[in-house]
């Protein structure tokens, strides 16, 4: 039988040493790669988040400011072209002011606006003084809707019902009826023992209380903002006042005992349809504008396009 060669102790020691060195090199390499990745991610995150909140804050400030500008100009009673020119001039003035303010912090802020992207519309309502809602009782206020925003009622008087049943609410409480492609939705508004109640009803269902607020002075019902406001309280209604399906038309019902004012901004295609003797006002308005916002610092470049339509349903 042939002799079998076996490695000597020194050879085995050398093999173990080489293997250990190889493992050490691999572990060191992996550690260096991990450290490099962690360092790179840390630097990238630090640079982005340092200025990120300020860029987002800038966008919010500009959207809010331009929204206020639109609403202010819409209430001037101008024709469409004059409103568009006024809004354009206002945005042109806002841009340099924002840039100068941010320049002190070493950043560059830009604001640009193309009037061709504006969406025109109409402002509906009666806003000068409180009026009875029976002026357009049981009639369609507006139809042909595709977009609507900033729908607010400012109520100074309303039907008083004490623990009413469904029939009393349907026949006596003032209602805003949204006609949709699905179920029609009616929001009934009345006072019950010093509490303002909104009772919601879909087609073929009895109305049920959806939102309440303690009565104190005039009550503002923000239908697109899902909110009730009085002198002493603000109550969020959590998506309970605007229908899930976009309305095609809006009507008022049972307005005899309800007084106040209201405003509603609609898209240009919509048409008001009250009776001829109604006190409803219909004025040209800007429905929305689109602006480009930029923010640039040493560590961050931020660009976004924002559509500004104040009071649009969330």
Task: Please write the tens of the pLDDT for every residue from 167-180.
Answer: 999 999 999 999 99
Same domain? For 155 and 207 the reply is yes
Residue 259 has φ and ψ, to the nearest 5°, of -130, 155
Same domain? For 177 and 253 the reply is yes
Which region among 113-117, 128-132, 280-284, 290-294 has the lowest average model confidence (pLDDT)?
128-132
User: What is the rounded average pLDDT of the residues 27-53?
Assistant: 52
pTM of the predicted protein model: 0.80
* Residues spanned by the domain of 26: 15-113+287-314
Q: Which of 90, 122, 119 is nearest to 288 (CA)?
A: 119
Q: How many domains does the chain have?
A: 2
Position 2 scores a pLDDT of 47
Would residue 118 count as lying in a domain? no
Position 21 scores a pLDDT of 64
Chain mean pLDDT for the chain:
85
For residue 231, what is the domain's CATH number? 2.60.120
Alpha-carbon gap, residue 255 to 219, rounded angstroms: 16
Would residue 120 count as lying in a domain? no
Same domain? For 75 and 140 the reply is no
Would residue 122 count as lying in a domain? no
Same domain? For 56 and 155 the reply is no
Same domain? For 106 and 165 the reply is no
Would residue 1 count as lying in a domain? no
Same domain? For 147 and 217 the reply is yes
How far from each other are the two terminal CA atoms of the chain, in whole angstroms? 91
Same domain? For 136 and 169 the reply is yes
Same domain? For 245 and 152 the reply is yes
Would residue 131 count as lying in a domain? yes
Same domain? For 235 and 305 the reply is no
What does the chain come to in residues?
Answer: 314
Position 33 scores a pLDDT of 55
Model confidence at 28: pLDDT above 60: no
How many CA atoms, within 13 angstroms, populate the side-chain half-sphere of residue 52? 7
Model confidence at 19: pLDDT above 70: no
pLDDT in tens, 74-103: 998 888 889 999 999 999 998 888 777 666
DSSP structure class, residue 160:
B
Beta strands in the chain (DSSP E): 108-113, 119-132, 139-143, 148-157, 174-179, 185-191, 195-202, 208-214, 219-222, 227-229, 234-236, 249-253, 259-267, 271-272, 281-296, 301-308
Identify the top-confidence range among 50-54, 184-188, 291-295.
184-188
Would residue 7 count as lying in a domain? no
pLDDT in tens, 106-146: 788 889 999 999 999 999 998 667 888 888 888 899 999 99
Would residue 5 count as lying in a domain? no
Same domain? For 261 and 137 the reply is yes
Q: How confident is the model at residue 46 (pLDDT cuts 50, 70, 90)?
A: very low
Position 136 scores a pLDDT of 85
Same domain? For 131 and 230 the reply is yes
pLDDT in tens, 246-267: 899 999 999 989 999 999 999 9
pLDDT in tens, 148-174: 999 999 999 999 999 999 999 999 999
Same domain? For 86 and 210 the reply is no
């Amino acid at each position: 039988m042939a002799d079998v060669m076996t490695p000597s102790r020194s050879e085995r020691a050398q093999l173990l040493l080489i293997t250990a060195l190889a493992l050490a090199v691999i572990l060191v390499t992996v550690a260096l790669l991990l450290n490099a990745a962690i360092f790179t991610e840390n630097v990238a995150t630090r640079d982005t988040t340092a200025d990120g909140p300020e860029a987002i804050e800038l966008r919010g400030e500009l959207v809010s400011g331009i929204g206020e500008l639109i609403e202010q100009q819409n209430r001037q009673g101008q024709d469409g072209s004059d409103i568009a020119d006024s809004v354009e001039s206002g945005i042109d003035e806002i841009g340099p002011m924002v840039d100068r303010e941010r320049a002190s912090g070493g950043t560059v802020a830009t604001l640009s606006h193309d009037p061709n992207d504006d969406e025109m519309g109409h402002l509906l309502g009666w806003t000068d003084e409180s009026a009875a809602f029976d002026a357009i009782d049981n009639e369609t206020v507006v139809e042909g809707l595709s977009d609507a925003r900033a729908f607010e009622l400012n109520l100074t008087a309303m039907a008083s019902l004490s623990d009413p049943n469904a029939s009393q609410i349907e026949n006596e409480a003032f209602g805003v009826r949204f006609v949709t492609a699905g179920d029609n939705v009616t929001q009934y508004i009345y006072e019950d023992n010093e509490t303002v109640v909104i009772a919601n009803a879909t087609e073929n269902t009895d109305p049920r209380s959806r939102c309440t607020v303690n009565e104190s002075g005039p009550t503002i019902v923000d239908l697109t903002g899902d909110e009730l406001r009085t002198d002493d309280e603000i109550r969020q209604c959590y998506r309970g006042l605007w229908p899930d399906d976009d309305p095609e038309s809006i009507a008022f019902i049972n307005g005899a005992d309800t007084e106040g004012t209201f405003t509603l901004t609609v898209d240009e295609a919509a048409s008001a349809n009250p009776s001829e003797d109604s006190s409803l006002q219909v004025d040209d308005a800007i429905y929305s504008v689109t602006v480009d916002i930029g923010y640039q610092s040493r560590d961050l470049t931020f660009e976004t396009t924002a559509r500004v339509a104040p009071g649009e349903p969330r």
